[in-house]
């Protein structure tokens, strides 16, 4: 048991039941419980709900922090952006408070809703395995101990204990897919397909996923390697893989390259798999596939990196660090990391000796001072500098067992 755990509490019945359950279960344990509420700034009631949780935490003698999302407006799917922001805020809060485990209040109802929504998207085994009871987010363990419990059962316990909670009015707004799905589940229950059935299906597929993860790990050792930050795939070995294993190798490789927590759409993934099998090129999800002499190179698409810059010592593209060289103190602010580019590659006379396609090297980090190329280690122009991956090759291979 960790010395300190964090609990994400919105004020709804699920998270309130979770907080009370943990409080009573851990009373005799030497565990500090920290409570956090995320205020997305999207509803006028949110501040009052956060204060409700703060008051509840005070009555239980627990510390509480309200985490505010300062950028609720913008392009893209609002719910997806809010979810990503929620986990970013909670992860940063946990890190500041030396919390190694964050406990979340997802229930069997949430599991059923997730599985049904993913069925609509024609998800594969991973998607239909639903919400994992445990996963890692950086150095933080995310724990969901209530996936086997129904929401109404938890509410019955709260009523018996005379514990109140707050109801989020957006949970009745059919503009949101999850609300529509929740109502569809009620209809399915009337037809004899209860939410518990979806949870059991998710658990069955979770076991299947673990088996597939293991065989994907073994296959990766035979089929893929890395070079200059790219994934190198042996086409001959890849062609004989079962489709599901091939899908997993490409999916995990893309996630390693981009840092994105989500797998590309299945249609794009199928096209990518065919491109490797046929020895063709393909571009998708910020990545590119290039075929050369029986090998497919999967690497970052140049256009996704063209405008990315960073100062020496900072992470570039979220995955590279450049170190070891020396810059005069006054010149540091004039230097920046950029993708090498086709123009930069022309300044690297030894690039052909790197046993790597020029198109791949063009997407690797290089150090510039205005229009002067100072270093491009992957292309054989180190000048005292070196580059390293924040998540090295070992992270790619281990991801087949830990994602």
pLDDT score for 390: 93
pLDDT at position 322 over 60: yes
pLDDT score for 329: 59
pTM of the model: 0.76
Q: Regarding beta strands 230-234 and 282-284, do their DSSP bridges make them parallel or antiparallel, or are they unpaired?
A: unpaired
Mean pLDDT of 351-359: 96
pLDDT score for 330: 62
Between 167 and 328, residue with greater pLDDT: 167
pLDDT score for 95: 93
Highest-pLDDT range among 26-30, 145-149, 322-326: 145-149
Strand segments (E) across 19-60: 32-39
Phi-psi region for residue 293, left (φ > 0), alpha (ψ -120 to 50) or beta? left
Between 74 and 162, residue with greater pLDDT: 162
Tell whether 13 is in a known binding site. Answer: yes
State percent of the chain over pLDDT 90. Answer: 76
Domain layout of the chain by residue ranges: 4-107+126-171, 210-302+394-400, 306-391
Does CATH number 3.40.50.620 belong to domain 4-107+126-171?
A: yes
CB 172, CB 133: distance < 8 Å: no
- Count other Cβ atoms within 10 Å, centred on residue 127: 19
- Count other Cβ atoms within 10 Å, centred on residue 181: 17
Cα separation, 298 vs 305, whole angstroms: 15
pLDDT score for 74: 60
CATH class assigned to 210-302+394-400: alpha beta
pLDDT at position 402 over 70: no
Tell whether 281 is in a known binding site. Answer: no
Structure tokens at 130: 């639903």
Tell whether 15 is in a known binding site. Answer: yes
pLDDT score for 55: 97
Helix, strand or coil for residue 140?
strand
Tell whether 10 is in a known binding site. Answer: yes
Please report, for residues 47, 313, 337, 373, the alpha-carbon distance to residue 310 in angstroms, rounded to integers and kept in the order given. Answer: 37, 8, 5, 15
Mean pLDDT of 370-399: 94
Phi, psi of 367 (to 5 degrees): -105, 130
Strand segments (E) across 59-205: 63-68, 101-103, 134-137, 140-143
pLDDT at position 150 over 70: yes
pLDDT score for 72: 61
Q: Regarding beta strands 32-39 and 63-68, do their DSSP bridges make them parallel or antiparallel, or are they unpaired?
A: parallel
Tell whether 11 is in a known binding site. Answer: yes
Each residue of 229-263: b (16+ CB within 10 Å) or e? Answer: bbbbbebeebeebeeebbbbbbbbbbbbbbeeeeb
Q: Regarding beta strands 101-103 and 4-8, do their DSSP bridges make them parallel or antiparallel, or are they unpaired?
A: parallel
Which own/partner contact pairs does 241-244 have at CB distance under 8 Å and 24+ positions apart? 243/273, 244/124, 244/125, 244/212
pLDDT at position 137 over 60: yes
pLDDT at position 174 over 60: yes
Q: Is the dihedral of CA 263, 264, 266, 270 positive or negative?
A: negative
pLDDT at position 403 over 60: no
pLDDT at position 78 over 80: no
pLDDT confidence bin for 28, thresholds 50/70/90 = confident
Mean pLDDT of 322-333: 74
Cα separation, 155 vs 166, whole angstroms: 12
pLDDT at position 268 over 80: yes
> Mean pLDDT in the chain?
92
SS3 content of the chain, % helix, strand, coil (to 5): 45, 20, 35
pLDDT in tens, 273-302: 999 999 999 999 999 999 999 999 999 999
pLDDT in tens, 5-14: 999 999 999 9
C-alpha dihedral (94, 99, 100, 101), degrees to nearest 10: -80
Tell whether 14 is in a known binding site. Answer: yes
pLDDT in tens, 229-265: 999 999 999 999 999 999 999 999 999 999 887 788 8
pLDDT score for 321: 95
Please report, for residues 29, 265, 272, 275, 401, the alpha-carbon distance to residue 216 in angstroms, rounded to integers and kept in the order given. Answer: 40, 19, 17, 19, 8
pLDDT score for 365: 97
Please report, for residues 7, 19, 364, the alpha-carbon distance to residue 386 in angstroms, rounded to integers and kept in the order given. Answer: 41, 48, 12
């Amino acid at each position: 048991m960790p010395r300190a755990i964090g609990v994400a509490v919105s004020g709804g019945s699920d998270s309130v039941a979770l907080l009370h359950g943990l409080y009573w279960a851990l009373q005799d344990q030497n565990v500090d419980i920290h409570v956090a509420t995320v205020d997305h700034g999207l509803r006028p009631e949110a501040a009052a709900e956060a204060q409700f949780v703060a008051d509840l935490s005070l009555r239980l003698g627990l510390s509480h922090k309200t985490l505010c999302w300062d950028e609720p407006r913008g392009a893209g799917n609002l719910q997806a952006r809010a979810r990503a922001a929620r986990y970013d805020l909670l992860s940063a809060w946990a890190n500041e408070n030396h919390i190694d485990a964050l406990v979340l209040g997802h229930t069997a109802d949430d599991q059923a809703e997730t599985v049904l929504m993913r069925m609509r998207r024609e998800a594969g085994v991973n998607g239909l395995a639903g919400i994992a009871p445990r996963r890692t987010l950086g150095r933080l363990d995310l724990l969901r101990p209530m996936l086997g419990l129904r929401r109404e059962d938890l509410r019955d316990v709260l009523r018996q204990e005379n514990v109140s909670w707050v109801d989020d009015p957006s949970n009745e707004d059919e503009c949101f897919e999850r609300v529509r799905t929740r109502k569809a589940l009620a209809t399915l229950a009337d037809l004899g397909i209860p939410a518990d059935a979806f949870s059991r299906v998710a658990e069955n597929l979770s076991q299947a996923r673990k088996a597939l993860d293991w065989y994907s790990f073994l296959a990766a050792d035979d089929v893929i390697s890395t070079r200059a930050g790219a994934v190198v795939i042996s086409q001959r070995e890849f062609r004989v893989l079962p489709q599901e294993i091939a899908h997993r190798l490409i999916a995990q490789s893309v996630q390693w390259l981009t840092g994105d927590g989500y797998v590309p759409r299945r249609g794009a993934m199928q096209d990518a798999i065919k491109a490797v099998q046929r020895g063709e090129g393909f571009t998708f999800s910020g990545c590119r596939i290039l075929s050369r002499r029986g090998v497919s190179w999967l690497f970052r698409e140049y256009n996704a990196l063209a405008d990315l810059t960073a100062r020496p010592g900072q992470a570039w593209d979220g995955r590279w660090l450049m170190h070891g060289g020396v810059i005069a103190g006054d010149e540091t602010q004039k230097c920046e990391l950029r993708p090498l580019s086709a123009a930069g590659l022309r300044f690297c006379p030894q690039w052909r000796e790197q046993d790597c396609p020029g198109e791949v090297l063009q997407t690797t980090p290089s150090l510039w001072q205005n229009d002067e190329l100072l270093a491009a280690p992957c292309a054989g122009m180190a000048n005292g500098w070196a580059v390293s991956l924040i998540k090295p090759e070992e992270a790619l291979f281990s991801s087949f067992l830990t994602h």
